[in-house]
Chains A and B, each alone.
Chain A
């Protein structure tokens, strides 16, 4: 009754897991820099955070390139079609043992809610975190570049932290939703092996 289809390609899986590790690393060190707790010390946290951030930037450059050259970017075009059915499934159907209304294929990997969530990360949380992060990193150049009259570190840090909280919430919900496949580990397995049972 179920068939195995190849959904996630090698680069995609590598990208996903590297990104996951980096985001968790950045969250842990970032909130230490923010002053929420002491774990590895402020200095080390800043160093790890900076290296981690640039690594993630590099990873994203590759990922963007990959998405455009492979046409995979189309996976993220938001759609409202059937979104009500998917939402209804997570709100009600899932508790009744109903089947998921969305059938993933190699051409359509993400259900409408996923598309919306990922595009949100991509066009909102992402840019917010990158731009504030770069402003933060280049704080010492503000004076030279004349940016100091438009920017304040306090607000840059504020929005960087806002984005971090959003990313944290996304992470929590995202990790939970991986358990909502037909078995709790099904989605995670798919992201490891590339094959999904649909």
Chain B
């Protein structure tokens, strides 16, 4: 204790002593007080990549770097080739649906086909610019995007998964220059995947920071404990991989086939063959409350997340609604424009339509057993009903479901009026048909449908959609967990689980008839004895 205090005091004094010199010597416009120099944590790796002769060369492209990596890591690309990060494809073993980014249509950016160059900025590969991409080529695997530790490696939309090889202005016409990474330095600095690597894509899903998930955004780079007890740097300082414990480049944890239910007590525990390490139970077991057995009792039917992530979008607002049907409006000069909401978040963008962002959102709660069905492009839809992009299955009686918090994301997107199917449209491209260049839906849809070789009736309209997302990140400190009364709310209040079917909630769902009859009998008993007593008093007086 004491020595720690002494050290920090010395460090503070050193900082104070050095500041004036630092400020004089270096008039850079950075912060005036230099933080006391922290020794870089000693790496536990047995290899210093900067000493490898394979990496002592100036690389001209990503694939060149990959070839150098593969000289030693002979199996790495083959492993990556099997992963969802590479295939963007997932065959759901339960529903047999062919899913993955390559196949599904969601209600954010909708679909990949015809927009590869843009979307594949988040592919762990190089060169996926059209449907002819070579998935078997080992040098097309991008090692750096996950293993860069310098923070200088960045892939930009429009380059088909390549980083910029020359400095370029991005976003276009913004005046901001993104520097081409020094591939040699990046290659020599590779290391274990950190949260900044995962975050480069996963924090920005849906086309921007915090847009898609609500529980996964750039604030996780350096969250306070209030935001994430596991990832706070002054706390446990977990990387993403601490839970998504990866072997052979296969990252566990999937929202296509999530682990949600309660198949047997204490399933999902680390070290067991059948376990998914990316669950709360894998570390905490399903009976983690030491002080209060009653809370463990709740864990049988209630996902940990329900109480321990009482709100999402707690650091940054997340997008809750995206209406594509209004996209394409132009101002009086014929130019696309953007509007902000009163809080300063995008409310309209000619490219994308109307949005709604929300902060500190109370999740919806549903029974969920891990089975998810998707509406595929081929699925015939009923355009008069809100279309479920995905359906989370579960019920109070299947013995396998728990009550989960979800983000329900709603929107509107085009569908084929002739075939009652969702449409693939061309958002981005250096051609005349892309919605974002031309703001013409007809052309964009025709191009997109031609790209996937599917029939299009020629008539489109917009269908209302909703999509469910499990809330599972950004676990709050236990002092912020839901209190009993937030579900077992007093009469007149609102209980968090009021809308969840099939549960009896003590304190909330008492049988009204029982109350009327029960209190009635108690009242009659009281009246009876009072009457009896009064009569006794009366007759006693008369008797005397």
Q: What residues make up the interface of A, taking CB atoms closer than 8 Å to B?
A: 33-36, 38, 41-43, 46-47, 50, 90, 94-97, 139-140, 143-144, 148, 152-154, 157-158, 161-162, 164-166, 168-169, 172-173, 176-177, 179-180
A158 lies within 8 A of B511 (CB)? yes
What are 9 of the A-B contact pairs (CB < 8 Å)? A35-B490, A36-B510, A144-B265, A154-B511, A157-B506, A161-B518, A169-B525, A176-B529, A176-B532
B92 near A: Cβ within 8 Å? no
B529 lies within 8 A of A173 (CB)? yes
A94 to B521, CA, bound (A): 24
B533 / chain A contacts, CB cutoff of 8 Å: 176, 179
A42 lies within 8 A of B525 (CB)? no
Known A-B contacts A46-B294, A165-B521, A176-B529; A41 and B485 likewise in contact (beta carbons under 8 Å):
yes
Taking a contact as CB atoms closer than 8 A, the residue among B294, B299, B539 that contacts A95 in the complex is B539
Taking a contact as CB atoms closer than 8 A, the residue among A96, A154, A162 that contacts B539 in the complex is A96
Apart from A46-B484, A154-B504, A176-B532, list 14 A-B contacts with CB within 8 A. A33-B488, A50-B294, A140-B298, A143-B399, A148-B399, A157-B504, A157-B510, A161-B518, A162-B514, A165-B517, A165-B519, A165-B521, A169-B521, A179-B533
Q: How far is the CB of B158 from chain A (nearest CB, A)?
A: 52
A42 to B507, CA, bound (A): 8
Taking a contact as CB atoms closer than 8 A, the residue among B484, B491, B507, B529 that contacts A172 in the complex is B529
Residue of B nearest to A153 (CB): B504
Q: How far is the CB of B133 from chain A (nearest CB, A)?
A: 47
A33 / chain B contacts, CB cutoff of 8 Å: 488, 506-507
Taking a contact as CB atoms closer than 8 A, the residue among A34, A144, A154, A179 that contacts B507 in the complex is A34
B522 lies within 8 A of A35 (CB)? no
A94 to B297, CA, bound (A): 53
B297 lies within 8 A of A140 (CB)? yes
A179 to B518, CA, bound (A): 25
B233 near A: Cβ within 8 Å? no
Contact with A along B509-537 (1 / 0, CB 8 A): 11100110111011001101100110110
B296 near A: Cβ within 8 Å? yes
Known A-B contacts A165-B521, A172-B522; A97 and B543 likewise in contact (beta carbons under 8 Å):
yes
B300 near A: Cβ within 8 Å? yes
B47 / chain A contacts, CB cutoff of 8 Å: none
B300 lies within 8 A of A140 (CB)? yes
Interface positions, chain B 475-492, Cβ under 8 Å from A, are: 483-485, 488, 490-491
B443 near A: Cβ within 8 Å? no
Chain B at the A interface: mostly helix, strand, loop or mixed? helix
A157 to B504, CA, bound (A): 9
Q: How far is the CB of B263 from chain A (nearest CB, A)?
A: 10
B508 lies within 8 A of A35 (CB)? yes
B509 / chain A contacts, CB cutoff of 8 Å: 154
Residue of B nearest to A146 (CB): B399
B503 / chain A contacts, CB cutoff of 8 Å: 153
A97 to B485, CA, bound (A): 53
A90 / chain B contacts, CB cutoff of 8 Å: 532
Q: How far is the CB of B539 from chain A (nearest CB, A)?
A: 4
B262 near A: Cβ within 8 Å? yes
Taking a contact as CB atoms closer than 8 A, the residue among B299, B300, B506, B532 that contacts A35 in the complex is B506
Nearest 8 CB-CB pairs, A to B? A140-B297, A165-B518, A176-B529, A154-B504, A95-B539, A43-B484, A35-B507, A169-B525
B508 / chain A contacts, CB cutoff of 8 Å: 35
B540 near A: Cβ within 8 Å? yes
B484 lies within 8 A of A139 (CB)? no
A140 / chain B contacts, CB cutoff of 8 Å: 296-300
B294 / chain A contacts, CB cutoff of 8 Å: 46-47, 50
Taking a contact as CB atoms closer than 8 A, the residue among A34, A43, A96, A162 that contacts B485 in the complex is A43
A31 to B312, CA, bound (A): 34
A152 / chain B contacts, CB cutoff of 8 Å: 504
A41 to B507, CA, bound (A): 11
B522 lies within 8 A of A161 (CB)? no
A43 lies within 8 A of B483 (CB)? yes
A34 to B300, CA, bound (A): 22
A177 / chain B contacts, CB cutoff of 8 Å: 529
Q: How far is the CB of A14 from chain B (nearest CB, A)?
A: 26
A173 lies within 8 A of B540 (CB)? no
Interface positions, chain B 249-292, Cβ under 8 Å from A, are: 262, 265
Residue of A nearest to B520 (CB): A165
A94 / chain B contacts, CB cutoff of 8 Å: 536
B525 lies within 8 A of A173 (CB)? yes
B525 / chain A contacts, CB cutoff of 8 Å: 168-169, 172-173
A35 lies within 8 A of B296 (CB)? no
A28 to B522, CA, bound (A): 14
Taking a contact as CB atoms closer than 8 A, the residue among A41, A46, A143 that contacts B300 in the complex is A143
A135 to B475, CA, bound (A): 32
B299 / chain A contacts, CB cutoff of 8 Å: 140
A47, A140, A161: most-surrounded residue (chain B CB, <10 A): A140
Contact with A along B451-476 (1 / 0, CB 8 A): 00000000000000000000000000
Interface positions, chain B 43-74, Cβ under 8 Å from A, are: none
A179 / chain B contacts, CB cutoff of 8 Å: 533
A177 to B510, CA, bound (A): 31
A19 to B298, CA, bound (A): 30
Q: How far is the CB of B251 from chain A (nearest CB, A)?
A: 31
Residue of B nearest to A138 (CB): B297
A38 to B507, CA, bound (A): 10
A38 to B540, CA, bound (A): 41
Interface positions, chain B 285-317, Cβ under 8 Å from A, are: 294, 296-300
Q: How far is the CB of A42 from chain B (nearest CB, A)?
A: 5
Q: How far is the CB of A37 from chain B (nearest CB, A)?
A: 8
A42 to B515, CA, bound (A): 18
Residue of B nearest to A90 (CB): B532
A161 to B504, CA, bound (A): 13
A152 to B396, CA, bound (A): 11
B507 lies within 8 A of A162 (CB)? no
A140 to B292, CA, bound (A): 13
A124 to B409, CA, bound (A): 53
A95 to B507, CA, bound (A): 43
B539 lies within 8 A of A143 (CB)? no
